[in-house]
């Protein structure tokens, strides 16, 4: 395992790359205040029970849906209000993703971590504007990007003077409607920044469900365990009380009722990785 020399400060009491794994989790999109509070409260409890730091995640706008008629969100201002209420009520840090530079000022007033979507990881203006907010920046590796090339995305953030940046692995495109995770990407990217493994979107089948994305939820435990043992600093998991009724990415989600057991399993794999983190072949 390559041990990253970097840390990302989320809050004073929470660091990615510190002494515990960090869980970024919540529904895919802001559907309503009630569903966000229900999910956030339960996942926070599961995270604390199983030894994870916790950051609540929900997207205020799903701007990259397969079909133009798919659900995108409940509105920019209303979604940010929901996120702020969740953060204040549950006393948890927040992460959401941005798609355009003009969104950053308002978003940075609410969240602790700004996520750059995989499709936008090369967008220089967006990365520079995100870095200048001073918030922690979480960049998803594009499905088309070599892991070693993500160093340049990190460099763009750090060029603004912002050192709080991490990378997220979510697989690469292999043919149509299929993603594959190359576990070599994890140690490669940890040379540049802390790394989060995206459990949810690694099992996604982009556009593979007749106008929406499909997924292979049953494969999530295998990839998650492998990533934990290979050595990552955190995990990204979307969840919902009833994934079949989720307004986006339902086929990839871990059902909320199964999150406690899933995190218990994941922590054991993460601990195994840490036990052997100094083992290297010469």
Beta bridge pairs of residue 24? 55, 236
- Residue 160 tokens read as 């603004």
Q: Tell me the C-alpha to C-alpha distance, in Å, between residue 123 and each of 116, 138, 172, 221, 225.
A: 9, 14, 18, 32, 32
pLDDT in tens, the chain (282 residues): 556 789 999 999 999 998 899 999 999 999 999 999 999 999 999 999 999 999 999 999 876 756 666 677 789 999 999 999 999 999 999 999 999 999 999 999 999 999 999 999 999 999 999 999 999 999 999 999 999 999 999 999 999 999 999 999 999 888 888 889 999 999 999 999 999 999 999 888 776 565 556 778 899 999 999 999 999 999 999 999 999 898 877 888 999 999 999 999 999 999 999 899 888 888
pLDDT of 240 = 96
268 sits in which H/E element: helix 259-275
The alpha carbon dihedral of 81, 57, 168, 282 has a sign of positive
pLDDT of 65 = 54
pLDDT of 278 = 82
The alpha carbon dihedral of 118, 120, 121, 127 has a sign of negative
**Which domains are delineated in the chain?**
20-268 (3.20.20.70)
- Cβ(135)–Cβ(161) below 8 Å: no
Angle, alpha carbons 161-163-166 (nearest 5°): 140
- Residue 221 tokens read as 């435990």
158 sits in which H/E element: helix 150-158
pLDDT of 206 = 76
- Cβ(195)–Cβ(186) below 8 Å: yes
Residues with Cβ < 8 Å from 74, sequence gap 6 or more?
30, 31, 32, 82
């Amino acid at each position: 395992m390559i041990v990253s020399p970097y840390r990302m400060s989320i809050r004073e009491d929470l660091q990615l790359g510190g002494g515990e794994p960090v869980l970024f989790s919540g529904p895919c999109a802001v559907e309503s205040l009630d569903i966000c509070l229900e999910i956030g409260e339960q996942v926070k409890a599961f995270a604390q029970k199983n030894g994870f730091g916790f950051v609540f995640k929900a997207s205020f706008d799903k701007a990259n849906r397969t079909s133009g008629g798919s659900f995108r969100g409940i509105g920019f201002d209303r979604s940010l209000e929901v996120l702020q209420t969740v953060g204040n009520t549950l006393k948890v840090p927040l992460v959401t993703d941005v798609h355009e530079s003009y969104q950053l000022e308002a978003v940075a007033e609410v969240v602790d971590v700004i996520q750059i979507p995989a499709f936008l990881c090369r967008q220089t203006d967006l990365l520079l504007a995100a870095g200048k907010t001073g918030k922690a920046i979480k960049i998803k590796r594009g499905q088309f990007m070599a892991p070693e090339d993500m160093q340049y995305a990190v460099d763009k953030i750090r060029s603004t003077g912002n050192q709080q940046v991490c990378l997220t692995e979510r697989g690469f495109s292999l043919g149509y409607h299929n993603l594959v995770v190359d576990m070599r990407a994890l140690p490669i990217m940890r040379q540049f920044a802390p790394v989060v493994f995206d459990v949810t979107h690694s099992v996604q089948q982009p556009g593979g469900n007749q106008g929406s994305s499909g997924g292979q939820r049953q494969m999530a435990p295998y990839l998650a365990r492998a990533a934990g043992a290979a050595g990552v600093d955190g995990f990204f998991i979307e969840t919902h009380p009833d994934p079949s009724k989720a307004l986006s990415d339902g086929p990839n989600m871990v059902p909320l009722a199964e999150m406690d057991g899933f995190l218990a399993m994941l922590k054991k794999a993460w601990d195994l990785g840490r036990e052997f983190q100094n083992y290297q072949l010469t």
